[in-house]
Structure 1
Amino acid sequence: MDNTSYFKHLRDIFVSFLMLGLTSFGGPAAHLGYFNQEFVQRKKWATESQFAQWVALSQIVPGPGSSQVGFAIGYHRGGYGGGLAAFLAFTLPSFVVMVLLAKFGQAWQGSVLFEGVVHTLKLLAVVVVADACLTMWRSFCQRKSMMLVALLSAFFITFSPFELASLVVLLLAAVVGMLSPVATAEHTEALPKVRFGYWLLVIALGIFGASFFVDGGLLGVFARFYQAGALVFGGGHVVLPMLSAFVSDTVSDSNLLLGYAAAQVVPGPMFTMASFLGAAVAPSGTNDWLWAAVATLAVFSSGLLLMLSGQNVWQTLSTNVRFRSAVGSVNAAVVGILIAALYHPIASSSVFNGWDLACVLVGFLWLKFKRPSIFLLIIAFILVGVLRSYL
């Protein structure tokens, strides 16, 4: 591939992820639904098997789950440049919004139009995740044993909602897979090997160790936010209180509450709470955007490095028959994780009445039988949100 073709390739990755970064409301599980719809079902950039393994790996290593999956898709499509393009594009919209909120306060709060559009986009998240659950169920739960793994996983996470529930489910599913007949491994597809993947692990661990010897200034901000990203399992909902605790002595309670609330309603990754806090702790007379960028880069870096290095370990193990059998069971558990997330927090935080349920059903039937592009769905739901805000 020549340079011109490669840059066109990167532009396609960047634009695709930018559009999702602008419109992907609903949190990490919803983002996975959008990725599945856009990059697996529509663009065919990856297979269902690869996608499920990326999701499983993102649950096992610490860091921002949906951003890690997006980064892996970008790398798979365009190498390191593709991974970087995917990360920057998906993160940029929420980064800008969070910094502006930190600088200009509560200007958007209370807007009926804004809240109406956000609510209908949350309903769209229900539609997209439901479609992803159904598609992945058909791919990975064809055998009764795998159906049982998926349903038990969903039940466990729903009724045992502690921080590491997803990790526990995946580990138990892996054990079940290794102990079950090896025939469960026959449809498993190995993930591609990552160049210099083991060096990425060395870099990630090296920065983590060095971070404990840095304090104060921009480097101190980078160190503390890097530690947060490296120690968080479970995604955005878990990192928010940790980041808040890091800056509670310099950021007011009202600002923390604003940032906490905004991180859960803006599109894109919740880890951009770091963008808000980075701007909020910037000393007077310094560049808010620079401090926000350093905090944002820090909180994401560890998880993205570990994702690619973990993919290499995963690929190496894939030659083992029992590991492939375990992956088949883990894929089914991933379906259960998504089903649990569909129920809570996605549907439970957005479907409140018959009108909401009707919007979800119409959207799901439209997606299932007409297969419109995700962007057409987004525009339609935005228009519904605008209409509802004036009724």
Structure 2
Amino acid sequence: MPKNKQNYIWRLQEIFLVSLYLGLTSFGGPIAHLGYFHTEYVKNRKWITEEIYSDLVALCQFLPGPASSQVGIAIGTYQGGILGGFLAWLGFTVPSVLILVFAFYGLREIDPARLVWIHGLKIVAVAVVAQAVWSMSTKLTPDKERATIALLGAAITLLWPNAYMQILTIMVAGLAGTVFGRHRVTSQHPNMVFPLRKRTGAIALFLFIGLLIGLPLLRQITTNEWVGVFDSFYRIGSLVFGGGHVVLPMLEKEVVPVGWVERSQFLTGYGLTQAVPGPLFTFASYLGAVMGGWPGAIITTIAIFLPSFLLVIGVIPFWDTLRTKSCLQSALWAINAAVVGILLAALYDPVWTSAIRSTADFTIAIICFGLLQFWRVPPWCVVIVACLLTL
């Protein structure tokens, strides 16, 4: 086997194993996932820089779909091309898919509220997000101008907590950067060359739009119910902004009124999804299992995540070129600061508000933060410590 090919195979194996580790240990929802990604990809493995990571987070905030999964796909693509992006998604997604489908078959009678240790996972998410905010702020908001942008972004996001306001905050920050940040940009802006051609990106975007338009038409002319299921889940994955917490109620409107899933089954799956690691979009896998067992789970999982994959592959080659322009670099100077502010707001709501209920919870969060930030303890070990302390 040629050495270059062998190195590529090893790289793909590494991408999959690292994302699988994250898929098994990343609890706490999409914002917490970005904290875990930052720890693993930026700090531990140094696959990308702070600036590139923030750029990718900002880009994925603009795209519909699960932002954390899209960031993972982008990093996997950066390291190993399209196959690397697919393996990064697969490793991060498979654990929660398996847990939720097995839960449908074996744990249908268990009330998720009785699983006390779940609260420990939420406390760990507080520590992880706090660590990410700490680290990113030192690099991306080192002066009073960008610190001000971050604080304003956090304030706006907290006062008007919805996905569209986050997008508007990023857009306004970018506009401010083009006006006030030109003299701040240097030629040393980090380069990020993805192994994708623009033609590949154009094909991916064509497929994304083609399926979005074509599936509803196909649904009208066929009697196959699974075509309708695929269309519903693909459409949600294509149009939802705000990540997993937004997609859950949207799924309810698609599957409960038409009788695909009973309301009691939906609520059980809703609770279980909050307790598992990985992307919240895998709730679709549970619903697919309810509708048709393992084949149904596979169909709904592919349908809801396919738009995200096509969008990332479609946009990245053009983003690769655009971000080298001085005007966009000026915008990114401020956008990166705004991303820190949005992450700071999310640290409070929903991460802090859903986890810290008492002085004891706050104490456990401080311990977890210290273990992560200063003692460099692996996140999975911190998860075990937090769960034990909350029992």
TM-score bracket for the superposition, by shorter chain length: over 0.9
CA contact (8 A) 2:364 2:389 kept: no
Which range moved further: 143-152 or 209-218?
A: 209-218
Amino acid of the structure 2 residue aligned with 1:360: A
Quote the Cα distance in structure 1 between the aligned partners of 2:386 and 2:275: 18
> What residue is the counterpart of 1:238 in the other structure?
246
Instruction: Report how many residues are paired.
Output: 379
Q: Identity across aligned pairs (percent)?
A: 38
> What residue is the counterpart of 2:9 in the other structure?
7
> What residue is the counterpart of 2:295 in the other structure?
290
CA contact (8 A) 1:102 1:277 kept: no
Quote the Cα distance in structure 1 between the aligned partners of 2:388 and 2:377: 21
Which range moved further: 191-200 or 85-94?
A: 191-200
Quote the Cα distance in structure 2 between the aligned partners of 1:62 and 1:384: 33
CA RMSD of aligned residues (A): 1.7
Please give the secondary structure, in 2, of the residue aligned with 1:349.
Answer: helix
Q: Which of 214, 217, 233 is 1:210 aligned to?
A: 214
Q: Does 1:272 align with 2:276?
A: no
Amino acid of the structure 1 residue aligned with 2:50: E
Give the structure-2-normalised TM-score: 0.92
Q: Does 1:174 align with 2:174?
A: yes
Stretches of structure 1 that go unaligned for 5 or more consecutive residues are: 283-287
Quote the Cα distance in structure 2 between the aligned partners of 1:155 and 1:110: 33
1:296-350 CA distances to partner (integer Å, 9 max, x unpaired)?
Answer: 1111111121123222222222232111100111111110111011111111111
Shift in alpha-carbon separation, 1:148–1:160, aligned structure 2, 3 A: same
Shift in alpha-carbon separation, 1:188–1:264, aligned structure 2, 3 A: farther
Q: Which of 80, 88, 91 is 1:89 aligned to?
A: 91
Which range moved further: 222-231 or 360-369?
A: 360-369
Q: CA deviation at 1:211?
A: 1.4
Q: Does 1:359 align with 2:369?
A: no
1:199-241 CA distances to partner (integer Å, 9 max, x unpaired)?
Answer: 2111111111111113233332222111000001110111111
Which range moved further: 157-166 or 211-220?
A: 211-220
Q: CA deviation at 1:387?
A: 5.3
Quote the Cα distance in structure 2 between the aligned partners of 1:223 and 1:363: 42
Please give the secondary structure, in 2, of the residue aligned with 1:372.
Answer: coil
Please give the secondary structure, in 2, of the residue aligned with 1:115.
Answer: coil
Quote the Cα distance in structure 2 between the aligned partners of 1:387 and 1:365: 15
CA contact (8 A) 2:181 2:331 kept: no
CA contact (8 A) 1:191 1:311 kept: no
Which range moved further: 378-387 or 338-347?
A: 378-387
Quote the Cα distance in structure 2 between the aligned partners of 1:261 and 1:381: 20
Please give the secondary structure, in 2, of the residue aligned with 1:371.
Answer: coil
CA contact (8 A) 2:112 2:268 kept: no
> What residue is the counterpart of 1:70 in the other structure?
72
Shift in alpha-carbon separation, 1:242–1:133, aligned structure 2, 3 A: same
Give the structure-1-normalised TM-score: 0.92
Quote the Cα distance in structure 1 between the aligned partners of 2:389 and 2:163: 38
Stretches of structure 2 that go unaligned for 5 or more consecutive residues are: none
Q: CA deviation at 1:384?
A: 4.2
Which residues in structure 2 correspond to 1:15-26 (within 5 Å)? 15-26=17-28
> What residue is the counterpart of 2:227 in the other structure?
219
CA contact (8 A) 1:191 1:314 kept: no
> What residue is the counterpart of 1:59 in the other structure?
61
> What residue is the counterpart of 1:373 in the other structure?
378
1:104-137 CA distances to partner (integer Å, 9 max, x unpaired)?
Answer: 453442575x431x22122111111111101111
1:250-304 CA distances to partner (integer Å, 9 max, x unpaired)?
Answer: 211111111222222211000011101111222xxxxx11111111111111112
Which range moved further: 215-224 or 144-153?
A: 215-224
> What residue is the counterpart of 1:332 in the other structure?
337
Quote the Cα distance in structure 1 between the aligned partners of 2:65 and 2:389: 38
CA contact (8 A) 1:188 1:327 kept: no
Q: CA deviation at 1:86?
A: 0.8
Q: CA deviation at 1:71?
A: 0.7
Moved over 4 A (4+): none
